[in-house]
Amino acid sequence: MSVDIVVLMVGMSPQPATENLLKNLNLEPNHDGFVGVKDYHLQPTHTSSEGVFVAGACTGPNNITDSVNAARSAAIEVHKYLTSK
């Protein structure tokens, strides 16, 4: 067998308190129990609750690069949301 890269990653699952947090914020979970987003490809930081944006590992396992990019995107969405009100 020949491979270009092998990535070892520890499994990750949401904390038990995540379910209560989702209920309190009126957020929908994704199929793995993490915070769900409106559209993974088109609105990856938008949640089912207006004005609540997410980034990083709260949406599921992510590497550092994806988490940082999502955080940048979420910050821009927060700015757009706050300046539109």
Q: Quote the number of domains for the chain.
A: 1
Residue 54 lies in a domain: yes
**pLDDT-derived band of residue 13, with 50, 70 and 90 as boundaries?**
very high
pLDDT of residue 14: 92
Contact present, 59 and 35 (Cβ < 8 Å): yes
Residue 45 lies in a domain: yes
- Domain assignment of residue 47, given as a range: 30-84
Task: Reply yes or no on whether the pLDDT at 1 is more than 90.
Answer: no
Task: Reply yes or no on whether the pLDDT at 85 is more than 90.
Answer: no
Angstrom distances, CA of residue 45 to CA of 39, 60, 68, 80, 81: 8, 12, 12, 13, 12
pLDDT of residue 4: 93
Residue 19 lies in a domain: no
Residue 13 lies in a domain: no
pLDDT of residue 6: 87
- pLDDT tens for 21-68 read 999 999 999 999 999 999 999 999 999 999 999 999 999 998 899 999
